[in-house]
Structure 1
Amino acid sequence: MSTVTAERPTIARPGVVALGISRIGYEVRSYFRSPDAVFFTFLFPVIMLGIFTSAFSASGNIGTAPDGTGGISVGAYYLPGMIAAGMLLSGVQNLAVDIAGEKSDGTLKRLGGTPLSPTAYFIGKIGQTLVTGTLQVGLLLAVAVFAFGIALPTEPAAWGTFAWVFLLGIITSALLGIALSAVPRSGRSATAVVIPIVLVLQFISGVYLQFNQLPEWMQNVASLFPLKWMAQGMRAVFLPESFEALEPSGAWDLGLVALVLVGWLVVGLVLSRLTFRWIRRDA
């Protein structure tokens, strides 16, 4: 008499990448359900561009010749910096505060008991930053063109530069945001820890102030961090060639921009993986 053994059906589990991609939609929906995140990271650069353009336009164009000709509008000059700031806000500020909050309210502890791996979780967060950052820069450019009459580049090469600076910058910012989320001891203290760091970087990196007019020591400090290079890369895209002479080296140095951003991307990836925990060790 033979015995028939029933085989258990094999349940195919989705891979890490598939889990991460499926997580992106959830992260994007959660982002837009949070009014403070939308205001302080999505709309903030748009609002600041409007404020700077309206407040300083009366002073005339920036970079005019001695005879009063040439130059660009205040809005056109500040647009690259606002794009770079938006990338930093979407990645570093938003993710650092968001993940610190998820640690405090137990969300990460619950996710740690699911098939979601840290890598899949990272993919979800990076994907959310990429989607919201793309929407943000699209809105910012639309406001620049239709509200302030700022002319955008027409050369395909300029938009090619924009694409790689944006991708490197937004992914680097996301990874650094994940890493920075390990610093606040609670969700309540996250904004107090993260926002001052982000704000100082914006002031010393040529976002709100003309970088060539900052003290040399401040320029050197800013050069240690990625925001300065993101802003420089965006200036290479949106500003006329004559403004290249205002850079510290007298050139856009796009090769160096790429090298620094790749370096920070690697640093962010390593720090994220080393410091990320579903549960705080000191909890």
Structure 2
Amino acid sequence: MSAATTTAPTAAGTLALPSLLSLSVARTRLELTTFFRERDAVVFIFAYPVIMLAIFATVFGQDGATVGPEPGIPFGQYFLPGMVATGVMLSSFQNLAISIAVERDEGGLKRLRATPMPASAYFLGKIGSVLVTSLVQMALLLAVAGLMFDIDLPTTVDRWLTFAWVFALGTATGAVCGVGFSSVPRSGRSASAVVTPIVLVLQFVSGVFFVFNDLPRWMQQVAEVFPLKWMAQGMRSVFLPDQAEAFEVSGSWQHPTIALVLAAWLVVGLVLGIRTFRWRRRDDG
């Protein structure tokens, strides 16, 4: 908090706040420190995608089982993109939707709003911390995938560029939607009960735990409304071989559509967040 309220003398002898950039960086450091102190949340967010990948790679990949027509794609290889997309959603949407609701319930947001720090620095600090934690999470997941399960990682620049823009846009979208959704739980105690089931349902219908093309059509149509399906599809275009494109429902990776849907949710989350975000509890006026 002290970094957010420190003032510096100006040439005219008055006091002025630090720049928005320096406030945002300071806030990002504070958010990261707070996040890593919550060890249970850190373990869940970082370990969950790794554990799920290990389950799919070892249980479903026994005896060289594969996905799709011969020669097929190893199960671990096919489900890695879904675990990457899930990791992004956990670090951004779920993390912020729950943590902000708890901060509001405990009165932290009310106290923070009374300081001279601009509201934008608070939100930029949240997004900055999400980007850092997501990068650490992805590095851990990909390292485990490559070193422990012999999953092939991309070797071309264009695939890593695709990974970069899907990851960045997906993380930003998840963070903004998480901020907006944080006003839905009635209290900090109910936040996990409200947010976690939504995340789990989206994982099941978005092709994270199953081959998306094998899901019922109505389930595919539901998933197409939400960003997780498109993040998973974008990541499949990064980590799966070219022939896997034919496995998609549309027969293509649909990169323009992926970018459009994620950008649309980014705008929707931003608008809803601006209109509905609350600094106080519901019973606090």
TM-score where L is the length of structure 2: 0.93
Structure 2 match to 1:119: 120
1:42 positional shift: 1.9
Structure 2 match to 1:61: 66
Structure 1 match to 2:81: 80
- The partner residue of 1:11 within 3, 8, 15 is 15
Q: Is the contact between residue 21 and residue 124 of structure 1 (CA under 8 Å) also seen in structure 2?
A: yes
Alignment of 1:64-213 (within 5 A): 64-65=69-70, 70-213=71-214
1:8 positional shift: 7.5
Q: Letter of the aligned partner of 2:189 in structure 1?
A: R
Q: Which runs of 5+ in 2 are unaligned?
A: 1-10
Stretch moving more, 248-257 or 36-45: 36-45
1:40 positional shift: 2.2
Q: What CA deviation, in whole Å up to 9, does each residue of 1:213-265 have, x standing for no partner?
A: 00001000000000000000000000011111111111000011011111111
Q: Letter of the aligned partner of 1:62 in structure 2?
A: V
Stretch moving more, 50-59 or 88-97: 50-59
1:246 and 1:140 mapped to 2: Cα distance?
24
Structure 1 match to 2:53: 49
Q: Is the contact between residue 187 and residue 281 of structure 2 (CA under 8 Å) also seen in structure 1?
A: no
Structure 2 match to 1:4: none
1:58 and 1:64 mapped to 2: Cα distance?
17
Cα RMSD (Å): 1.4
2:222 and 2:43 mapped to 1: Cα distance?
29
1:230 and 1:84 mapped to 2: Cα distance?
6
Q: Which runs of 5+ in 1 are unaligned?
A: 1-6
2:15 alignment partner, SS class: coil
Alignment of 1:232-251 (within 5 A): 232-251=233-252
Q: Letter of the aligned partner of 2:241 in structure 1?
A: P
Q: Give the greater-gyration-radius structure (CA).
A: 1
Deviation above 4 Å: which 4+ runs of structure 1? none
Q: How many residues align?
A: 273
Q: Is the contact between residue 226 and residue 264 of structure 1 (CA under 8 Å) also seen in structure 2?
A: yes
Q: Letter of the aligned partner of 1:164 in structure 2?
A: W
1:76 alignment partner, SS class: helix
Structure 2 match to 1:3: none
Q: Is the contact between residue 179 and residue 268 of structure 1 (CA under 8 Å) also seen in structure 2?
A: yes
Percent of matched pairs sharing the same residue: 56
Q: Is the contact between residue 101 and residue 191 of structure 2 (CA under 8 Å) also seen in structure 1?
A: yes
Structure 2 match to 1:220: 221
TM-score where L is the length of structure 1: 0.93
